[in-house]
């Protein structure tokens, strides 16, 4: 019975902190221009990472075909 109380208390704490962390908050100190260019920079980074990974895989496959790797 005593362990059930501890588990319940732990569950309440976990739910409380997960609720707090799930709230969307906008940083007040971030200028409006950052709100505009951050998504653009993030999308550019994701695109370049995907391009790099694709080309790396293509080059690796090419080297394997010629027996260099």
In eight-state DSSP terms, residue 7 is H
Q: Are 27 and 34 in contact (CB under 8 A)?
A: no
Residue-level pLDDT at 23: 67
Is the pLDDT confidence value at 48 over 70? yes
Mean pLDDT of 3-8: 85
Chain-centre distance for alpha carbon 32: 23
pLDDT tens per residue, range 10-26: 889 888 888 777 766 66
| pTM, entire model | 0.41
């Amino acid at each position: 019975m005593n362990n059930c109380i501890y588990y319940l208390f732990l569950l309440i704490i976990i739910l409380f902190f997960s609720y707090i962390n799930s709230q969307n908050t906008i940083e007040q100190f971030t200028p409006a221009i950052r709100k505009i260019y951050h998504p653009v920079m993030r999308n550019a980074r994701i695109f370049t990472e995907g391009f790099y990974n694709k080309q790396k895989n293509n080059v690796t496959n090419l080297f394997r075909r010629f027996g260099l790797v």
